[in-house]
Structure 1
Amino acid sequence: MISTQTELQRIMNDRKSVRKYKEGVTIPQENLMELVRLATTAPSSSNMQPWRFLIIQDEEAKKELLPIAFNQEQIVQSSATIAVLGDLKMYENAQAIYDANVEQGFMTREIADNMIKNSVNLYAGLPEEALKNVIQFDAGLISMQIMLLAKEMGYDTVPMGGFNKQQFAEHFNLPENEFPVLLISIGEAAAPAYGSSRIPAEQLTRFI
C-alpha cells in the first residue's frame, strides 16, 4: 500500500519536544498573537473556551519563572513561554458566546437561550475539582494546536507540566478565577530533539 504523506502528517511527525533553543531570538508579538488566534479554533466543552494565556517574553520575567519551573533551561533560552491558563468562571461568557452564534447564523435565538441557561447552570454548579478537570481537558486540546501551528510557522516547542503552579499563580498575580495548566516554551531549536518510540497502535486499540 503506497501512501503519500500529507502536510499535516509531516508537521505531526516533525514536531518534537525541543529543550535547547537559540538564545536572543525574538518572535514578534503579532506572530504570537496569530498563533493563539488560530489555535482558538480548538473545540471546548459547551464551547465555553475556558483557556486564557500569559505570554512571557521579558528577560527578567523569564529569570523569575526559572525557579518556579524547576530550573528547566528552556525557560530562559527560548524566545517565549506561553502559559496556558484556565478560567473557573468561563461560563460567565456564555451569553456573549451564544449571542455571537445567533448573530453569525449558527443557531436560532431559542437554541442559544437554552444553551446559555444550561451552560451557566451546569458549570456554575460543579465542584471546583470537577470544573478544573473539564478545563484541563479543554486546555490540552488547544495546547496541542498551539504546538502544531508553531511547527508550521517554523518554531519548535516543548510542553511542561512540571512547575510549581501555586507559586506561578502568586508570582504572576493571577486573579482568583484563573489557574495555570501548562507551560509551552517556543523558539528556534539550537539542537535537535531526541527521537522517541511509540507503542504500536494495534496494541492500544480494540474494536467491538
Structure 2
Amino acid sequence: MQTPNKIDFFKVLQERHSVKEYDSSFKIPREEMLEMLREATKAPSSVNLQPWRFVVVDERKERLKSLVRFNQRQLNTSSAMILVLGDMNHIDYADEIFSSAVEQNLMPQDVKDYYMSYLKDAFSKMTKQKIRENTLIVGGLVAMQFMLVAKAHGYDTNPIGGFERKEVMETLGIDVERYVPIMFISIGKASKPAHESVRLPIERVVSWNQVDQVIGSSAKK
C-alpha cells in the first residue's frame, strides 16, 4: 500500500469514477477495509460528533438481491457493499469524544464542559427531522471521503441511492428508529475501465455573492 505522501491527490480525484462491474474473485482484506474507513472518518462533522455508522456486507450479499434491483452487477461482483448510516442518537457519544480530546490535550476541560451543556440543550430543542437532515449532510461528506480514500488504495467504488431502504434495514437487523440509511457504496477492483463523464462548465454552476441570472437562466438554454 502506498503511503499518503506518495499519493497524488489530484490524480485520485481525476481517476475516481463510478464503477458498475468488479472482479468478483477479488476480496479486500478486512484489516484494509477498516483502515480505509478509519481514514474516511477524518471527514468533518458538526461539533465533531461523527454521526456516521457503517455496515460492511462482504458475506451473504445475496440477501440484498431483491433490495438493490437496479444495481445487480455491483452487488454480484463487488468485494463488499457498504451501507452508510446516520445515527440519530449520536449526541450520546459526545462525552466520550470530548473526554478523549481533553485527555490528548486537544481540548481544554472548560471547552468540553461548555459544549456538553450547550449540546444537551440544543439537541433537546431539535426536531427529529432536523437531526435527520444533519446526519444526511455529514453522511454525504464521509461517503465521498471514503470513495476518494478507496481510490487512493487502488480500489473502485459506486455510490448507490436506489435501494429499498425499509427492507434493507429489516434484512440487516438495523434499528429503523435510531439509524437513517444514507447510501450503499459498492467497492472492489474494476473488471474494466469506468466510463468517464462530463461536468457542466464551472461558469454555469458558480455565482458570486448571489444567485444571479447566469445560473438562473442556464436551465432555459
Alignment partner of 1:167 is 2:167 = yes
The one-letter amino acid paired with 1:55 is V
Residue 129 of structure 1 deviates from its aligned partner by 1.4
Alignment partner of 1:149 is 2:149 = yes
Residue 71 of structure 1 deviates from its aligned partner by 4.4
**Contact 2:78/2:189 (<8 A) preserved:** yes
Deviations 1:80-137 (A, max 9, x none): 0111111000001111111111111122111111111222322343211111110010
Q: Which residue of 2 aligns with 1:82?
A: 82
**Contact 1:46/1:119 (<8 A) preserved:** no
- Choose 48-57 or 126-135, whichever is displaced more: 126-135
SS in 2 for 1:197: coil
Q: In 1, Cα distance between the equivalents of 2:116 and 2:194?
A: 45
The one-letter amino acid paired with 1:152 is A
1:65–1:139 distance in 2 versus 1, CA, 3 Å: same
**Contact 2:40/2:145 (<8 A) preserved:** yes
Residue 207 of structure 1 deviates from its aligned partner by 2.0
Q: In 2, Cα distance between the equivalents of 1:25 and 1:144?
A: 23
- Choose 113-122 or 164-173, whichever is displaced more: 113-122
The one-letter amino acid paired with 1:108 is P
**Contact 1:21/1:77 (<8 A) preserved:** yes
When normalised by structure 1's length, the TM-score is 0.93
**Contact 1:91/1:124 (<8 A) preserved:** no
SS in 1 for 2:197: coil
- Choose 66-75 or 10-19, whichever is displaced more: 66-75
**Contact 1:101/1:107 (<8 A) preserved:** yes
SS in 2 for 1:17: coil
Q: In 1, Cα distance between the equivalents of 2:139 and 2:124?
A: 19
Aligned residues: 201
Q: In 1, Cα distance between the equivalents of 2:28 and 2:150?
A: 11
SS in 1 for 2:185: strand
Gaps of 5+ in 1: 1-5
Q: Which residue of 1 aligns with 2:218?
A: none
Residue 75 of structure 1 deviates from its aligned partner by 0.9
Q: In 1, Cα distance between the equivalents of 2:161 and 2:121?
A: 31
Q: Which residue of 1 aligns with 2:106?
A: 106
SS in 2 for 1:53: strand
Q: Which residue of 1 aligns with 2:39?
A: 38
Q: In 2, Cα distance between the equivalents of 1:120 and 1:80?
A: 37
SS in 1 for 2:85: strand
Percent identity, aligned pairs only, is: 34
Gaps of 5+ in 2: 1-6, 210-221
Q: Which residue of 2 aligns with 1:127?
A: 127
SS in 1 for 2:23: coil
